[in-house]
Every structure is written in structure tokens, then in C-alpha cells.
Amino acid sequence: MGAKYSLPFAEPFTLLLIRMSLTVAVFLLLIIIFNARRLTPIQALHQMIVGAFIHVGYLGCIFAAIKLNMPAGVAAIIVGLQPIITAILAMVWLKEYLSTRQWIGLISGFAGVVTVLAGGQMLGDFDIDGNALKFCFISVLCISIGTLYQKRFGQGVDLITGSFYQYVMTAILLAIISWTFESGEVEWTLQFVLSITWLVFGLSVTAVLLLMYLIKMGAAVEVASYFYLVPVFAVIETWILFDEQLSFISIAGMLLAVLGIYLVIKSTANNKARIRTSA
């Protein structure tokens, strides 16, 4: 939502550069206020790699796709593949294997996402720019790899300091991309400023800290399954804010998505319980 309201006033990577530069300043302030624990050089390097995947690869490609007029609903469906891709990669990389119930949950969640978007008529025109599709698929791959990398190499890292290093690398890479391929022009309207404020404090600070915490505490696939809630909340938000009709199909899709998440999380909890019992 923030991208939709801010992109008319800046090019995608210029917008992200402004957002991430402000976020670096916020996290530096948080480190000072909370006296956050320092990282070793290798920990800092791992966090910078995570930042390159999650914040540059994922967000950068999503913003570029939206700038190329990718319908939000189609983008959400492609991004909805992320939990399934994460599950496949987790089996290969982290040896995290899923039960039949978890696979059913992932498939149900994805079906719920598609149903929600179809019922809300958010799919738009399917005359889509090929580059926009490429950007969307690259973004899904980046968020999946970034999530698994953080799970593998981010254990024991202070969340505030780790996020700071993620955004430092992000700002550096975005500066190179923006200054190389974009004009850097920004129209500083009130709408743009308010959108940037939300993107920084609502998403880059609060939401990302929550994501890093979930990755630290849970299985990679369990965390990825929460992404099924994004289009659900998007439809609810448009219903509340813009008085758009909430159809029976959308409601059914929401329930299906929530059921899918429940199956994944419940199976994960059961597996943990069995491990503790056997120990």
C-alpha cells in the first residue's frame, strides 16, 4: 500500500534508497538508546548478505514490478509462492522436511490467496509486462533465500544491531543502483512524505524486527507461511478504508488461507513436542 502511494513521486530504487537511508538512521538511534550488543565481523557480514537478499532483491524487484504496472493481485499471487519455494529450499539446505499435513497446509494457503484475490477482483488486466513478471519471480527467490540464510547464519545475533547492518548494505547497494540507472528526481509532496514515514516506521522497523524474531524462534517454513496473511489483510484494508465490497468468495479464501497457516504451524508445534518428549 505504501509503495502504491509513493511510487508516483519517485523512481523505485530512488524511493527505496530514501527509505533505507532513513531506516539506517533510526536503527543507529535504537542501538544507542538500547545499548544493543555488537556483532563480530563475520556476524555483520552475514547480516549484510541477508539485507542484500531481503531488502534489495525482494523489495527492489517488487517495487520495480509495481512501477511497470504489475497488478497488485497478480504480484501477490506470485509472492504467495514464497512459502512453497522456501519449503523446497529448506529441505535441500536446512534439512527441514515437511509432513503431509504441512504440505496440505501450504497448498491450502496458496489456494486461499488466489481465492481471496479473485473474489476481491484485484487481479487486474493480464496484459502484463514480461519484465514485471521477471522482477516478481526474482523477488520471491530472494526473500526465500534471505529467510533461509538468516535462519542458518543469523542465530544469536542481536535483532537491532543485525537489522542495522542489513540496512547499511541495503543503502549502499541501492545507492549504486539508483545513481547508475535512475535520475534521482523526487517530488516531495505530503502524500510522499506520509508514505515514506509509514514505510520506514511501519514496515522497515516494526515489521522487519518482527520477521527477524519469527525467523529466530521458528522453522523457516512456519515463518514463510505467515506471508499468506498479506493479501488477506490487504483485502480487509481496502474494505475498511475504501469501502470496497467484501465478497463471499473473498471470505472463503481468507478462511482457507488461515486454515493452511494453522495446519503448517500446528504440525510444527506437534513435531517440537514429540522431539521434547523423546529427549
Query: What is the per-residue pLDDT across 235-250, written as a single tens digit (0 to 9) for each?
Result: 776 677 656 667 788 7
* Torsion on CA atoms 6, 9, 13, 18, rounded to nearest 10: -70
Q: What is the mean pLDDT of residues 114-134?
A: 69
Task: Check residue 277 and give its pLDDT.
Answer: 47
Q: What is the mean pLDDT of residues 99-114?
A: 89
Task: Check residue 201 and give its pLDDT.
Answer: 93
Would the CA dihedral through 103, 104, 106, 107 be positive or negative? positive
Q: What is the mean pLDDT of residues 252-263?
A: 87
In this prediction the pTM is 0.81
Helix-then-strand count for the chain, H and E: 14, 0
- pLDDT class of 75 with cuts at 50, 70, 90: confident
